[in-house]
Structure 1
Amino acid sequence: MTCQKTGHNFTKIAFKPLHTNLFNIVFLSFFLTLGCGKLYSQEIKNKKNPLPTVKQTDKPKTASTDNVVKPVTDTIKLDTVKAKKSALDAVTKYKAKDYAKFDKKAKTLTLYNEAELYYKDIELKSGIIVLNLDKDEVYAGRIKDSAGVLTQYPNFKQGSNEVQPDSIRFNFKTKRALIYNSRTEQGEFKIKAAVTKKENDSVYFLKGARFTTAADIDDPEYYFKTNKVKFVPNKKVVVGVTQMVIADVPTPLVLPFAFFPMSQEKSISGIIIPSYNDSNTRGFSLQNMGYYFALSDNYDLTVLGDYYTNGSYAMRFESSYAKRYKYRGNVNVRFENLINSERGYPDYSKQNIYNIQWSHAKDSKSNPNSTFSASVNMGSSKYFKRSINQANVGSNLNNTLSSSISYNKTFNTIPQARISLTATHQQNTQTEEIIMTLPSLQASIDRVYPFVGKDGVKKGFIKNINLQYNLSGKNYFKTTDSLFFKPQMFQDAQIGMQHSIPISTNFKLFKYFSAGASTNYQETWVTKTIERTYDAEQAKVVDKTVNGFDAYRTYNFSTNLGTTIYGTFNFGSDKKIQSIRHVMRPTVTYSYTPSFNQYYNNYVVDASGKIGQYSPFDNGLFGAPGKSNSNIVSFALSNTFEAKVRDRDSTKTEPKKIMLLNNLNLSTSYNFDADGKDVLAWQPVILSGGTQLLDNKMNVNFGAVLNPYAIDNSGKVMNVYNIDNGGSLFRMTSANVTLNYSFSNKGSGNEEKNTQSQRNGGRNDDLFGTNTDLNDSRNSQFANKKDDDKDVITEFFNSHIPWDMTMAYSLTYSNAARENKITGNSIMISANMDITPKWKGGISTGYDFVQKGVTFTQFRFERDLLSWRMAFNWSPLGTNSNWNFFIGIKSGMLSDIKWNKRSTSNR
């Protein structure tokens, strides 16, 4: 007989043949029963089933119904045996469309059709999911649809890492996984592997892998094929033998190993692979070889170099820096040692050129009371014409380089004070003349109204009287390329300071006139003056520089009177042009400056003893004071013309306003103290105007100079009015007209295309061609394009071909000495067009009607190769003729995979 208790402990009792004794049998049974009952020291509670069985039903579960699997807690504490803890130590949610079935015996939970499982930071979605509680493991895979096609691929996401394989097995306890045909994205890279082994949260091993930056990982334009990969998400990819495959065709490009940094937080330092080129005058070369230094999160440094076999070389240092809410900027320093031909040949030459660029901007949020900015572009005048690593067309055709560094500070005092320090640089690349101020100082104190009342109302002549203080100081240099930053440059420097105290007031006169009066006291300090004498040995007048402090003081007075006149010409509401409005603003200004001949000295002009006068401040920083009285009345008239026209839209009742002339200005002056010989009484009439036409797309500006005086046979202006000399009232000595027209069938209009060329001193449009930076040619209008190809093609052929055009026309007329000719007449045109959805083309050209020749011309072509870009630029004419071909991967991570071929000019 076997007696089984609830605790599953068994006691076997064997009965031998005994005498039938009922008492002994009952007593023995009762004793044994008590003995077995003493084996238990506490009551055992019934355990709850952690996974309730979900029976399959005909109706699917709704997506909003979530089931929860909670971790099991055992309340029984045994002395010798510890209960096994489940790996699922957190709340687990799951759902499925068809069914969720729990097998109690096998301890598995099966989710079918649109299955989802959520555990901690793990999200798993798939066609089928099987959760094994005994092995602490989950499996996910695809399912077949009604046509037998595998669908609902698994999507496994843990934290920021996401994988889309064919199937996956994951262990919750060890955190390891086996992933088959996984697809994942890491930054710009897309990775696909036949088998992926997840070692832990930060290390993956891949077998039979391909990685690319193409959009379609299953059918990429190119990929890198390798059999062994160690992958650390968001940090790096280390691969074994790797081969590049283009259009499923293996290439000879094989690497024994490769390392790809994939950090999203900080750039990684690394080598920049050079490109090969050749030149007829400098031999073979390696260009743009160097190293990128990721110094910190706030700044970096790129060092690049070129080397030619004839000894020419170039170095470039480029750095960008930024600090949020503080400042940002970049610095470029370029140096080139150019050698043409070989030593001993007649065309041999050697030259050093350089260029420095610095751009800095301070965030106004950091300190609203002070600003600091810099825009520097300085260096050799011939740099952009002769550089071996620049194709800056706009910069090459520009004749001026300029720089400015400024610091401004506002003091919140009463009255408010301001100070500004500025360093400027102007360089003419044709004459190689350089003008610099290092630095110039501007300081001012705001206007003070000494006669204003306690109520603060400034009304009338007296209460509007105000004065202020201005200070201007300069450390001025005028030099050339050859003397730049050499001792002679500093010896020729001029230092000066000018103080001024203007006093002014304004008031109404006769209700319709605005009147004003002002006077200005000015004191000028200089550290250099001149002493002019006649040198008998050289038989000419010479100026000797005198070092030492000197000063002069001047003052002047002026008053002005102006008004505004409105005139309207009505033509009737039934007319197309209903009315024209004319606004005139005439101004009359009288100014008087006395003679300051006390600051003039006598000197001998020639050997005959003729006496002349000069000022020691001649050729000085602020010029010399006036020797004669200046008693001048100036006239100015500004006009605007505006029309009201009937709107084409018949539903609108109000007429449409159109600006006919934005401005039409005339100005001249009359000097009462003119002597009629050196100074004529009337100044030429200056006429200027401008307007916008064709929906404000065409800007038209014009100007002319009208001289009332006649000229003699030698072309010199006489003190005789032109009308008294048998001519018209005015003689037009010069005139100009400029037109700029930009039009496009694109909705957004033209954008700035040539920001680097503008920074180099060129134009920001492409009338002089686009700027080609040979350091990095990946940027293009295709770079960020991620539209579906089919949609792009369909939209392209169902609409107009996108295009844009920019046109500039300039006409200049000159007749100062009866030459009566057109001195300038040219047109420039730039056009860009989307030839196909993947092809873009452009042309920049022009024609000079005076020189009768084609101006600068450039042809541009660009092809979008999805993850690749191909571009070709060709300038066929002139001394700047060149061509450049580029093909490479768009991704910045693989920017060294490219081929760049270009012509080299003999400049």
Structure 2
Amino acid sequence: MRTNLFHIVLSAIFLTIGIFGASAQEVPVKPASTTAAEKPGDSLVINPVALTKNDSVKKKKNGLDAVVKRTAKGYEKLDQKNKLLILHDEAELNYTDIQLKSGQIIMKYDKDEVFAGRLKDSLGNYTQYPYFKQGNNVVEADSIHFNTVTKKARVWNSRSDQGEFRVKGELTKKENDSVYFIKGARFTTAKDINNPEYYFYSPKIKFVPGKKVVVGPTNLVIADVPTPLMLPFAFFPMTTKAESGFIMPTYGNNNQRGYFLQNGGYYFALSDYYDLTVVGDYYTNGSYSMRFQSSYAQRYKFNGNLNLRFDNNIQSERGFPDYARSKQYNIQWSHSQDSKANPNSRFSASVNLGSSQYFRQSVNMNNIGASLNNTMQSSVSYSKTFQTVPQVNFSLSATHNQNTNTKAINMTLPTLQASVDRIFPFAPGDAPKKGLIKNINLQYNLRGENRIATYDSLFFKPEMFRDAKSGLQHTIPLSTNFKVFKYFSVTASTNYQETWVMNTVKRQFNADSAKALTRDIKGFDSYRTYNFSSSIGTTIYGTFPFGEKSKIQAIRHVMRPSVSYSYTPSFDQYYDYYQYDAAGTLKQYSRFDGGLFGAPGQRYASNVGIAVNNTFEAKVRNDDEKDNKGEPKKVMLLNNLNFTTSYDMAADSLAWQPLRVSAGTNLFKEKMNINFGTTLDPYAINNAGRRINTYNIDNGGSLFRMTSANITLNYSITSQDGKSGDGEDEDSQTARNGGREDDLFGRATDMSDNRKSMFKEEDETKKDKSEGGFYNAVLPWDLKFAYSLTYSNNARERKIIGNSIMLSGNLDITPRWKMGFSSGYDFVQKGVTFTQLRFERDLLSWRMDFNWIPIGQNTSWGFFIGIKSSVLSDIKWDKRQVPDRVIR
């Protein structure tokens, strides 16, 4: 449910619902015959029959029609003279769906009245306050008095929870089932209703359940100090469903666009399954924006959300040299299907597309991670599985990939994929698949695409479909695997592929222009290719013991060498010659060049690949275990140390590919991750920096020439027992828009909803357990560190092309004060990278934050204080200086 600043008192709806729970619960108790032999805890059954068998007078039918169960820890007293039933000390009455607990309960059954009140302890403090529950409504009060016949009731100091609200009324009076009066009502979202940090006070309220609410003067009180914010009276329709309503905008000033109203609009509560929020911005220089947000869900079936955003940005004033205007838009759609909905079919969507400059020029969203990212991706897919033998899988999808720097867009509308599950033609269905013959298996895969390449300026226009390319590709892989010499695993496979296309090219020389021209040919064409590959590998284990008394007892080395071979023939039959220039120069081309799946290979290849993968693990004595009788700890020294290269037996020169070496490990109890990689070229280069068919060692150099190297370090730690931080941000918009999931580039700020914390929300119970009141001696904190170094030496430049460090951290200065920072330094460009400072104060029901970007193109600051609760989200003060967006 949405509220706005002019409708603060709309929360009285929740209040009245709470009072309805407080005063509309009735316990229609009437006297009945009771024997003195009854004991506490026995059930009191109301008998409408006469008190004595011989009584000839017909008694009035009793109003109770169910069993009344009663208990009391202290005593039960039945006063026949005064027609009273008294339950004392931890008294409890249960009647139908009504439960009443109190220090003392008095039933005056001759007048159909029930009283419930509290008790005083030995120190004079009140205890055992009345607790009243009917259905899901719970009310606590100082005392309760109600009549079971007239259905009138009075409740003193009632307290109840209604949704996010906590409600307290000095006196609640129920006239009948249709009219309720409340005197001295206060409502708040604070946890402690008796001592709230803020509340709204109204001296009188009248309401008709399910119809209307009328309130008198309503005043906002903060820390028991009345504020000038008040309304003289208000009238509201009453309903238990979500209601549509206005959303109050935020006002301010922008350097380039003038004064503005932001995030104002209307909320449409369309149904229980979906809603719609329409908000917009307006600036005095003529700029404006609109945003449509909708969420939908149906239990056990699906859920999702849709965001449509449009900005019309105007820079400067008409007539000035820097005047510019641009129109930007963004579409986001996320849909997921519940796994229980249909196990054999699934529909999902993850869409993020729009103008390339939206996140860089939008004034309403400050997402540095998204603005620095240069790609946007989307996917909408439907898949279905047919439970046949063999199983058949089918999927239909549409994809989108957009480069925000070049503004190039590649789409597939649609992509069709189908596959038939693996078939073993030489093995019975129940027999094990072992051996060369029985392991032979084949599959069938089909892939069809309609691919579109365009730019965002032509998006959604007819021109984008003009050069679309379409085709189908059939693939039949045939493979097997078996063991030789017991320890060696062998795999062999061949792959047949047939490609159908609807677009080809024809190149020929044009005598008029004296140039070779390329002409597109529409129509069906096809080509067929095949290849063969095999590999053999094994696993070698080695253990190097150091003795049981040594700290390191043993080192285990696992090596996985493998040799592979691949053969691809030349498909010259799909190539032709054309005249390139007036001199009659001939060049070779394929009519499938630039096609959907590319042209068949013309080069004959016969490659031998060599790979060696290694892991190193240590067995370390565990000194922490008692009497040193526990199992030794296993510590990973190197997660991987890999060597890969290949040799092309069909090449007439430069047959060896560069040797690629990569390694990775975790240090400091897996809190630091280190990855290293380098490329080693066995061939020398000439003076022009080109590779020559001469080994580097024969050219006066070393065995290998290092052409590139890189190293990355990531370190993440928190104060919680020294555990590594997870590095993930719960702000899904950041990752969804292409930003990092951690806060090395700062935390994204969604200016349309500043109630959300820029820090990770913690368990409130942990905050309350912090020692010292104002201080927190533990001082929770987290730190993230990232370092990257890249070296290039392809042409003897011997240059470091990348060298940067980035830091981010968060610290709880006190249990309620938090601060965070994100910054870094680029040693190549010699400058400070993106820097952000974050401060936040938890004011219990309120939240206050200040974030500041002091340097760079995104210089800005923002201050916010407001109520956390969504029902009072418009009670806030938001002041900020947004970054200056320059339209290019």
TM over 0.5: yes
Q: What do residues 161-220 of structure 1 show as CA deviations (whole Å, max 9, x unaligned)?
A: 333222221101122101122222212111222211123467532012111111222222
Partner Cα distance (2:406, 2:585) in 1: 36
Pairing 1:682–2:659 present: no
Pairing 1:111–2:94 present: no
1:466–1:505 contact (8 Å) kept in structure 2:
yes
- Which of 471, 480, 494 is the aligned partner of 1:496? 471
Matches within 5 A, 1:765-784: 765-780=742-757
Q: What do residues 753-778 of structure 1 show as CA deviations (whole Å, max 9, x unaligned)?
A: 33220011111111111111112121
Higher mean displacement: 836-845 or 683-692? 683-692
- Counterpart in the other structure of 1:666: 643
2:84–2:107 contact (8 Å) kept in structure 1:
yes
- Counterpart in the other structure of 1:888: 866
Partner Cα distance (1:688, 1:237) in 2: 71
- Counterpart in the other structure of 1:875: 853
Distance 1:268 1:783, change over 3 A: farther
2:33–2:51 contact (8 Å) kept in structure 1:
no
- Counterpart in the other structure of 1:211: 187
Higher mean displacement: 448-457 or 856-865? 448-457
Higher mean displacement: 648-657 or 143-152? 143-152
Partner Cα distance (1:261, 1:360) in 2: 35
Matches within 5 A, 1:761-840: 761-780=738-757, 786-787=764-765, 791-794=769-772, 797=775, 799-840=777-818
Q: Which secondary structure does the structure 1 equivalent of 2:770 belong to?
A: helix
1:54–1:100 contact (8 Å) kept in structure 2:
no
2:847–2:866 contact (8 Å) kept in structure 1:
yes
- Counterpart in the other structure of 1:549: 524
Distance 1:771 1:201, change over 3 A: farther
Q: What do residues 278-327 of structure 1 show as CA deviations (whole Å, max 9, x unaligned)?
A: 21221222211122222222222111111122221111111111122211
Q: Which secondary structure does the structure 2 equivalent of 1:787 belong to?
A: helix
- Which of 74, 79, 92 is the aligned partner of 2:50? 74
RCO higher in 1 or 2 (8 Å CA, sep ≥ 6)?
2
- Counterpart in the other structure of 1:520: 495
2:615–2:639 contact (8 Å) kept in structure 1:
yes
Partner Cα distance (1:495, 1:200) in 2: 74
- Counterpart in the other structure of 2:102: 126
Distance 1:258 1:832, change over 3 A: farther
Pairing 1:229–2:205 present: yes
Partner Cα distance (1:261, 1:770) in 2: 41
- Which of 598, 602, 606 is the aligned partner of 2:581? 606
Distance 1:798 1:857, change over 3 A: closer
Distance 1:466 1:94, change over 3 A: closer
Partner Cα distance (1:446, 1:802) in 2: 53
1:186–1:234 contact (8 Å) kept in structure 2:
no
Partner Cα distance (2:437, 2:153) in 1: 89
1:128–1:143 contact (8 Å) kept in structure 2:
yes
TM-score, scaled relative to structure 2: 0.91
1:830–1:842 contact (8 Å) kept in structure 2:
yes
Matched to 1:50, the amino acid is S
Matches within 5 A, 1:250-289: 250-258=226-234, 266-289=241-264
Q: What do residues 688-744 of structure 1 show as CA deviations (whole Å, max 9, x unaligned)?
A: 222222222222112111111111111111111111111111111111111111111
Partner Cα distance (1:343, 1:135) in 2: 83
Partner Cα distance (2:649, 2:423) in 1: 34
Partner Cα distance (2:605, 2:213) in 1: 80
- Counterpart in the other structure of 1:154: 130
Matched to 1:365, the amino acid is K
Q: Which secondary structure does the structure 1 equivalent of 2:412 belong to?
A: strand
Q: Which secondary structure does the structure 2 equivalent of 1:598 belong to?
A: helix
- Counterpart in the other structure of 2:733: 756
Residue 258 of structure 1 and its aligned partner are, at CA, apart by 4.5
- Counterpart in the other structure of 1:744: 718
- Which of 160, 166, 176 is the aligned partner of 2:152? 176
Q: What do residues 94-124 of structure 1 show as CA deviations (whole Å, max 9, x unaligned)?
A: 3444443333333223334433333333333
2:402–2:408 contact (8 Å) kept in structure 1:
yes
Q: Which secondary structure does the structure 2 equivalent of 1:757 belong to?
A: helix
Partner Cα distance (2:842, 2:428) in 1: 72
Distance 1:72 1:900, change over 3 A: same
Partner Cα distance (2:464, 2:766) in 1: 61
1:269–1:292 contact (8 Å) kept in structure 2:
yes
2:776–2:815 contact (8 Å) kept in structure 1:
no
Partner Cα distance (2:701, 2:663) in 1: 25
Partner Cα distance (1:193, 1:274) in 2: 32
Partner Cα distance (2:421, 2:743) in 1: 44
- Counterpart in the other structure of 1:587: 562
- Counterpart in the other structure of 1:38: none
Residue 234 of structure 1 and its aligned partner are, at CA, apart by 9.4
Partner Cα distance (1:643, 1:599) in 2: 56
2:41–2:69 contact (8 Å) kept in structure 1:
no
Partner Cα distance (1:208, 1:373) in 2: 52
Partner Cα distance (2:579, 2:187) in 1: 87
Higher mean displacement: 483-492 or 821-830? 483-492
Partner Cα distance (1:480, 1:630) in 2: 37
Matched to 2:877, the amino acid is W
Partner Cα distance (1:764, 1:232) in 2: 50
- Which of 816, 821, 831 is the aligned partner of 1:853? 831
- Counterpart in the other structure of 1:12: none
Q: How many corresponding residue pairs?
A: 849
2:500–2:527 contact (8 Å) kept in structure 1:
yes
Q: Which runs of 5+ in 1 are unaligned?
A: 1-47, 56-60
Matched to 1:743, the amino acid is I
Q: Among the aligned pairs, what percent are the same residue? A: 63
Q: Which secondary structure does the structure 1 equivalent of 2:796 belong to?
A: coil
Residue 831 of structure 1 and its aligned partner are, at CA, apart by 0.4
- Which of 694, 701, 704 is the aligned partner of 2:668? 694
Q: What do residues 208-253 of structure 1 show as CA deviations (whole Å, max 9, x unaligned)?
A: 2111111222222111111222357799865232111112222221
Q: Which secondary structure does the structure 2 equivalent of 1:792 belong to?
A: coil
Residue 662 of structure 1 and its aligned partner are, at CA, apart by 1.4
- Which of 357, 375, 380 is the aligned partner of 1:405? 380
Pairing 1:304–2:291 present: no
Q: Which secondary structure does the structure 2 equivalent of 1:451 belong to?
A: coil
Partner Cα distance (1:345, 1:778) in 2: 39
Higher mean displacement: 131-140 or 68-77? 68-77
Residue 382 of structure 1 and its aligned partner are, at CA, apart by 0.6
Partner Cα distance (1:269, 1:860) in 2: 35
Higher mean displacement: 112-121 or 220-229? 112-121
Q: Which runs of 5+ in 2 are unaligned?
A: 1-30
Pairing 1:393–2:368 present: yes
Partner Cα distance (2:157, 2:37) in 1: 32
Q: What do residues 862-901 of structure 1 show as CA deviations (whole Å, max 9, x unaligned)?
A: 1111110111111111111211211111111111111111
Higher mean displacement: 832-841 or 337-346? 337-346
- Counterpart in the other structure of 1:731: 705
Q: What do residues 60-85 of structure 1 show as CA deviations (whole Å, max 9, x unaligned)?
A: x8xx6346252432399999986434
Pairing 1:244–2:244 present: no
Distance 1:88 1:156, change over 3 A: same
Greater C-alpha radius of gyration: 1
- Counterpart in the other structure of 2:8: none
Q: What do residues 792-839 of structure 1 show as CA deviations (whole Å, max 9, x unaligned)?
A: 344885742100111111111111111111100111111001100110
